[in-house]
Chains A and B, each alone.
Chain A
Amino acid sequence: MTWLQHLTDELTARGIRGQDRRRIVSELRDHIACEPESVERLGDPTELAGIFADELATSRTRRAAWHAFAALSTAAAVLVSSQIALAHAGGYPGFNHGLSLALFLPALVGMLIAPQVALVSGTLAVARTLRRRRLSRMPAAEIGLVERRTRVALGAGFATIGGLEIYVLNFSARLPAWWLGTVGGLGLAAGAALVWATRSLAGARTLVSATPGGAGDIYDDLPAIGFSWLRGSTWRLGALASVLVAALMTAFEAHAERSLAEGVQRGIVEGVAAAIGFALLGRMIGVASPARRQARRAVVSSALDSVLGALPGPAGHRVGDAERDHAEHVVRASYAEGRLALEELSARIEAIHAARTLGELRATVADLPDVL
Chain B
Amino acid sequence: MILATLLDDPAHGYAILARLRERSSGTFDLAEGTIYPALHRLERDGLLSSSWSSESGRRRRVYELTRRGRAALQERRQEWRHFSRAVEAVLG
Contacts and interface: CB of A to CB of B under 8 A. Distances in A.
Nearest to A43: B31
Given A30-B59, A30-B60, A41-B32, A48 B37 contact: yes
Contact of B13 (A31, A48, A56): A31
Contacts of A255: none
A26 B13 CA distance: 11
B19 to A, nearest CB: 13
- Majority DSSP secondary structure for residues of A touching B: helix
A24 interface: yes
B23 interface: no
Interface of A: 23-24, 26-28, 30-31, 33-35, 38, 41-45, 47-48, 51-52, 55-56, 59, 136
Listed from nearest, the 8 A-B pairs whose CB atoms lie closest are A43-B31, A42-B33, A34-B14, A48-B33, A51-B37, A30-B60, A43-B33, A41-B32
B61 A55 contact: no
Nearest to B15: A34
Contacts, number: 61
B33 A35 contact: no
Contact of B58 (A30, A45, A48, A52): A30
Nearest to A42: B33
Interface majority SS (helix, strand, loop, mixed), chain B: helix
A55 B40 contact: yes
25 contacts: A24-B36, A24-B40, A26-B59, A26-B61, A27-B60, A27-B61, A30-B12, A30-B58, A30-B60, A31-B17, A35-B14, A38-B14, A41-B31, A42-B31, A43-B32, A43-B33, A43-B34, A48-B33, A48-B36, A48-B37, A51-B34, A52-B37, A55-B41, A59-B41, A59-B44
Contacts of A56: 40
B59 A38 contact: no
Interface of B: 12-15, 17, 31-34, 36-37, 40-41, 44, 58-61
Given A26-B59, A27-B61, A38 B31 contact: no
A157 to B, nearest CB: 26
Contacts of A33: 58
Contacts of B44: 59
A35 B34 CA distance: 17
Nearest to B44: A59
A28 B59 contact: no
A42 B31 CA distance: 5
A136 B41 contact: yes
B33 A28 contact: yes
B20 to A, nearest CB: 12
Contacts of B34: 43, 48, 51
Contact of B31 (A26, A27, A48, A136): A48
Contact of A30 (B13, B40, B41): B13
A27 B37 contact: no
Contacts of A136: 41
Nearest to B58: A30
Nearest to B14: A34
